[in-house]
Amino acid sequence: MSTDPSIARRSWASRITSHVPPGQFARYLLVGLWNTAFGYGLYAALTALLTPRMRYGYIAANALASLISITVAFLGYKWFVFKTHGNYLREWIRCLAVYSGGIVASTAALPVVVVFIRRTTHVDAAAPYLAGAIVMGLATIYNFVGHKNFSFRSRSTNP
């Protein structure tokens, strides 16, 4: 057994990432960055379009933009990240399930993380923003693992 800490770190990191093809997580982040910009732009455009026409148009804009941007992300993940073939409807429904689970978990975790930050640091007003960043980082990993192992699971890993 080696006592070199750099070898131990590489071994630990390689054990965690050995099941992820090279570049796959980076492509996932790239699609996520694009889709975040696209989703927010779509939300802003739909809000501008719907607000003059209906009360609380921003709520309808949010729901519609979310559904469209999840679908756009799904296609990016399918074609560019996980590169699966066929099964569009099944994978899209699974993609919605992963995102829904992540939204529920993030919503539940957020107040816990805010309280933790406020009680363990001198940060008060910025705690929700820090907690949001922490939860978003964890959600990104959760969503990647969920999409890889559930939404876009290959036939070779299907039971």
pLDDT tens readout for residues 52-90? 999 888 989 888 998 999 999 999 999 999 999 989 999
Section 140-155 average pLDDT: 88
Tell me the whole-structure pTM to 2 decimals. 0.73
- Given phi > 0 = left and psi -120 to 50 = alpha, else beta, which region is 83? left
Report pLDDT digits (tens) over 22-36. Answer: 789 899 999 999 998
Confidence of residue 158 (pLDDT cuts 50, 70, 90): very low
CB < 8 Å & 24+ apart, contacts of 65-70? 65/39, 66/39, 68/39, 68/42, 69/35, 69/38, 69/39, 69/42, 70/95, 70/96, 70/99
Section 122-145 average pLDDT: 90
The pLDDT score that the predictor gives to residue 23 is 86
Asked whether the predicted pLDDT for residue 91 surpasses 70, the reply is yes
The pLDDT score that the predictor gives to residue 121 is 95
The pLDDT score that the predictor gives to residue 6 is 59
Q: What burial letters (b/e) apply to 7-16, b meaning 16+ CB within 10 Å?
A: eeeeeeeeee
**Dihedral over Cα of 108, 114, 117, 120: its sign:** negative
> What is d(CA 127, CA 153) in angstroms, rounded to the nearest whole number?
37
